[in-house]
Amino acid sequence: ALRRQRVEVSVELRKARKDEQILKRRNVSFGLRDTAASLGEDKGNESVQLSMEEIVEALNGSNTELQLQATQAARRMLSRQKDPPISQIIELGIVPRLVEFLSYADRAPLQFEAAWALTNIASGTSEHTKAVVEEGAIPAFISLLSSPHMHISEQAVWALGNIAGDGPLYRDALISCNVVPSLLALVSPATPVGFLRNITWTLSNLCRNKNPYPPLDAVRKILPVLICLMQHEDRDIISDSCWAVSYLTDGSNDRIQIVVDTGILPRLVEIMASLELIVMTPALRAIGNVVTGTDEQTQAAIDAGVLAVLPCLLRHAKPTIQKEAAWTLSNIAAGPSQQIQQLITCGLLPPLVELLEKGDFKAQKEAVWAVANFTTGGTVEQVVELIQSGVLKPLLNLLLVKDSKTILVILDTISNLFTAAEKLGETERLCLLVEELDGLEKIEALQTHDNNMVYIAALNIIEKYFSEDNPDLQPGTGRDGLFDFSVKKQDFNF
C-alpha cells in the first residue's frame, strides 16, 4: 500500500479551504473609535481628514506634526473595514517615505503609525507586499523588534508575519536577515498574551510553505520554542503553534523526523482530542502529516495514542474533520500488518464502516482508500476480520458514486478481497456474498462505464471470478477424433 501525501494535484478548482490558517492579516480598526486612540497616542478624539494629495504633500514636507497627521490619516484609510485603498496608497509613491519613518527612533508615535500603515499594505496581494519589501522594509522592521516600545515591537512582528506569509521567497529573505533570534528573544514568561499570539502567528508563517522548505537551522531554532508555546493555555497560541508544526511535517520524511524527535507527538494527540475546532484542526493535520512518513514515524504516532482519538474524529459532525481523520487512518492502514493489527485492536473498524455507510462524500472517499490500503497490506486473517465487520455492503454501494477514481479503488479492493478468499479457498463464498449484496449487478454495469480503466477493472473481476486455461497443456486431437494423450517432458524445479 502507498502512503498518500496531502496534495495529489497542484491545480485546485475549489475555493481556498475555509479552515486553513490565514496567510496575511490586516490590523483593522473596529467601530468608530480608533484603536490607536486608546493607546493615548492621539490627542483627544479629533481625527484630521486629509485628502490623498494633502497626505503626499505633508509626508514629503518637513513639518513633523503634519507628517504624523498624514501618516495617521493614511493608516486610518488602510485600516477601515471595507475596501482599503492599498493600491491607491502605493500609487501615491509614499511607501519609501513610510519605510524611512520606521528608523526615526526618537519619534515613536510616527514609527508606530508608519509600521501599522506598512503592515496593512503588506497584508494585500503579493504585489502589495512586494511594494513594501522592495523599499527595504525587512531590515527596518527587524531592528524595530528590539524597540523599547512594546506596541511598536508588536506591530513589527505583525508586519514581518505578513511578509513571511507571502511565500517561500520573502520567508527566506527574512530568515537570512536573521529574523529568528530577534523574534525568539521576545518570547518570555512575561510577554503579554496578545503579543505572544502575534509572535506565534509570525513564527508559524516562517515555518510555512514548501518549494523550498524553510532552512533547516531556522527550523531547529524555532521548534523548541513552538513546543513550549504548545503548552500555553491560550487557544490561539496553541492553534498557531500547531499550525506551524503541521507545516513542518507537511513534507519529506527527514522533515517529519525532526518533529518526531522533539517528542511532541503525545501533546499533539492530546490537543487533537480537544473539543475545540480551532486547536483540534491543526493538530489533526500535523498528525495526519506524520503518518505519511516511514513505518517508524507512523509507529511513533500510534504510540502517542492517535488510534484512541481517531474513532471520535471519524464520527465528528464536521465533514472536513471526518475527512482529515479518514485520510490519517488510510495512511496508517498503508503500514505493515502489525500496525493494521493495532488499528483493529483499537476498534477502528466499526467507525470506518459507519463512515463508508453515511459519512460525508469527501470522507467516504478517504475511507475507501483506508479499506483499499488495509486489503493490500493486511494478512488474510485481518482481511477476514474486515469483511466480518460489515465493510462489504457499504463498499459495494459506493460503486454508484459519482467519481471514477473512487470506483477504481473499490474495484481494486474487491480484487484484493478475492485474492485473500482464494488463499482461504473461499472464493465461491465471496462470489455469493458479492452477488447477494447486489455487488455483482453493479460491477456488471461498470463494464459499460465511460472510463476505460474502470471498465477494464470491472471486466477483469467478472472474467476472473465470475466466469473462467493452460494453453501449453491443451491436448491435440488424434486420428480417432478423440483427445490425444501426450505431453513433452521438461525439467522440474518447484
Cα 39 from Cα 108, distance rounded (Å): 12
Report the residue number, 51 or 467, with the smaller CB distance to another protein. Answer: 467
- DSSP letters spanning 402-427: S-HHHHHHHHHHHHHHHHHHHHHT-H
- How many degrees, rounded to 5, is the angle at CA 291 between CA 20 and CA 339? 145
CB of 236 to another protein, least distance (A): 25
CB of 352 to another protein, least distance (A): 18
CB of 13 to another protein, least distance (A): 4
List the alpha helices (DSSP H) in 186-215.
Answer: 193-207
Report the residue number, 51 or 486, with the smaller CB distance to another protein. Answer: 486
Of the chain, the end-to-end C-alpha distance in Å amounts to 29
Q: Are the C-beta atoms of residues 34 and 41 closer than 8 Å to each other?
A: no
Q: By CB neighbour count within 10 A (0-12 exposed, 13-18 middle, 19+ buried), where does 47 fall? A: middle
CB of 453 to another protein, least distance (A): 7
Contacts for 152 with CB less than 8 Å, ≥ 6 apart? 108, 111, 112, 115, 144
Q: Are the C-beta atoms of residues 117 and 71 closer than 8 Å to each other?
A: yes
The Cβ of residue 258 has, within 10 Å, a number of other Cβ atoms equal to 15
Q: Are the C-beta atoms of residues 3 and 292 closer than 8 Å to each other?
A: yes
Q: Are the C-beta atoms of residues 247 and 208 closer than 8 Å to each other?
A: yes
CB of 357 to another protein, least distance (A): 11
Of 234, 317, 332, the residue nearest 275 (C-alpha): 317
Report the residue number, 195 or 327, with the smaller CB distance to another protein. Answer: 327
Q: Are the C-beta atoms of residues 23 and 74 closer than 8 Å to each other?
A: no
Report the residue number, 93 or 478, with the smaller CB distance to another protein. Answer: 478
Report the residue number, 41 or 422, with the smaller CB distance to another protein. Answer: 422
Report the residue number, 38 or 493, with the smaller CB distance to another protein. Answer: 493
CB of 416 to another protein, least distance (A): 16
CB of 483 to another protein, least distance (A): 3
Report the residue number, 32 or 487, with the smaller CB distance to another protein. Answer: 487
- DSSP letters spanning 258-327: HHHHTT-HHHHHHHHTSS-HHHHHHHHHHHHHHTTS-HHHHHHHHHTTHHHHHHHHHT-SSHHHHHHHHH
SS3 202: helix
CB of 124 to another protein, least distance (A): 20
CB of 449 to another protein, least distance (A): 7
Report the residue number, 267 or 449, with the smaller CB distance to another protein. Answer: 449
CB of 211 to another protein, least distance (A): 15
Cα 214 from Cα 169, distance rounded (Å): 10
Report the residue number, 304 or 313, with the smaller CB distance to another protein. Answer: 313
What is the phi-psi region of residue 133: left when phi exceeds 0, alpha when psi lies from -120 to 50, beta otherwise?
alpha
CB of 172 to another protein, least distance (A): 26
Cα 286 from Cα 303, distance rounded (Å): 15
Report the residue number, 106 or 450, with the smaller CB distance to another protein. Answer: 450
- Cα maximum dimension of the chain: 120
SS3 288: helix
SS3 477: strand
E-state strands within 126-172:
none
Question: Which stretches of the chain bind another protein, using CB under 8 A?
Answer: 8-15, 319-320, 358, 360-361, 401-405, 408, 422-423, 425, 428, 431, 435-436, 449-451, 453-454, 466-475, 477-478, 480-487, 489-494
Report the residue number, 275 or 473, with the smaller CB distance to another protein. Answer: 473
